[in-house]
Amino acid sequence: MSRSALVGNVTAMLEDAGFSVSDRCAIRPKSFDVAARRGRDLLLLKVLANVDALDGATGVEMRRLGEYLDATPLVVGLRTRDEDLEPGVVYFRHGVPVFSPDTAMELFVEGLAPLVYAAPGGLYVNIDGDVLRDEREERGWSLGQLASELGVSRRTVSKYEDGMNASVEVAFELEEMFEGDLTSPVEVLDGAEEVRDGDPTPEDPQPESDDERIVTVLTRAGFEVHPTVRAPFKTVSEDEDSDENVLTGHSAFTKAAEKRARIMSSIGEVAHTRSVYFVDEANRENVDGTGLVERDELEEIDDPDELRKLIRERAEEPA
């Protein structure tokens, strides 16, 4: 299956599950393929046949964008270089959760969260330590007795009850022993924070030289500006007075720029952000909701409130 067809299939699945899905980011560079929202859940989704193709820089960008936009970065893929992705298992690449289309179907359409995640050494599950302790005490077993039944140390059982995760084999043996569920799902839509690498969100990149003027003007107007590297927009800028996000781009107003502005509009509609494109010259004020502001206009504005008002007037308010 081609990657284009795979993106189409995943998009159709999300729409069937009740998500609003943006247009595909059919431009380069791009750190994600589509944005999708259902209620309060916003996804930044990249679709790959081979998930090992997700490089470190893209993973870092996806995690940063997730932080800026209050979104969950996700990769849906078919395989690694060595094997197919197993259904019901969450993998990780550069701190981004990864799973198969079958797992995505179970999660988003059927409401069945995955229970298993891959980590160095094998497959693991979240053990509900409180339930395990209650089951053990109800049977009148000591830590040592349960440890003996499992063939592990007393300290290991104590760690399970304190929240340490267990291998799939141990979890299966525990559930057989106590004849009930002891595992809890991987909370993918919260970024799977309880099981993924606990690295902090990477710091913002430095703006490129041709971005510095725009960043300076937006910062002066009261925006907290986050430059991007591989997104279909140049910055995510937060209006500190209204707690709104604005996606921005800038270039000459070419056909390519118009296409980028349309994609920004589509992403903004799903992500609930405004979008604005700074151009040398334009014969209109808007491209499908993305406001157009000429550089000369920008240079003439000294009042930060006036600039923020101009952006709000040109860029359609998010739905």
The answer to the question of residue 65 being in a domain is: yes
Does pLDDT of 319 surpass 60?
Answer: no
Return the number of other C-beta atoms located less than 10 Å from residue 211's C-beta.
19
Average pLDDT rounded to a whole number, residues 96-124: 93
Could you list the residue range(s) of the whole structural domain that residue 131 is in?
123-184
Asked whether residue 193 is assigned to any structural domain, the reply reads no
Task: Examine the pLDDT at 226 and tell me if it is beyond 70.
Answer: yes
CATH number of residue 262's parent domain: 3.40.1350
Q: How far is CA 8 from the centre of its chain?
A: 19
* Averaged confidence pLDDT in the chain: 89
- Residue 190 in any domain: the answer is no
So what's the pLDDT on residue 90?
95
**What pLDDT, on a 0 to 100 scale, did the predictor assign at position 317?**
67
Report the pLDDT value the prediction gives residue 114, as an integer from 0 to 100: 93
Average pLDDT over residues 23-30: 87
Last residue of a domain, one of 114, 133, 167: 114
192: left (phi over 0), alpha (psi -120 to 50) or beta: left
Q: Is residue 199 situated within a structural domain?
A: no
Query: Has residue 227 been placed in a domain?
Result: yes
Q: Give the model's pLDDT for residue 42.
A: 97
Q: With cut-offs at 50, 70 and 90, classify the pLDDT of residue 297.
A: confident
The CATH number of whichever domain residue 166 belongs to comes to: 1.10.260.40
Q: What's the pLDDT band for 126 if we cut at 50, 70, 90?
A: confident
CA distances from 139 to 106, 129, 133, 134, 178 (A): 35, 16, 10, 9, 9
pLDDT band per the 50, 70, 90 thresholds, residue 199 = low
Number of structural domains the chain divides into:
3
For 237-246, write each residue's pLDDT tens digit: 988 777 789 9
State pLDDT tens for residues 163-182.
788 888 988 888 888 888 88
pLDDT digit string (tens) for 68-77? 999 999 999 9
| Within a domain: 132 | yes
310 in the same domain as 249: yes
CA distance 119 to 65: 24
Could you tell me the pLDDT band of residue 196, with boundaries at 50, 70 and 90?
low
Instruction: Say yes or no: 151 and 53 in one domain.
Output: no
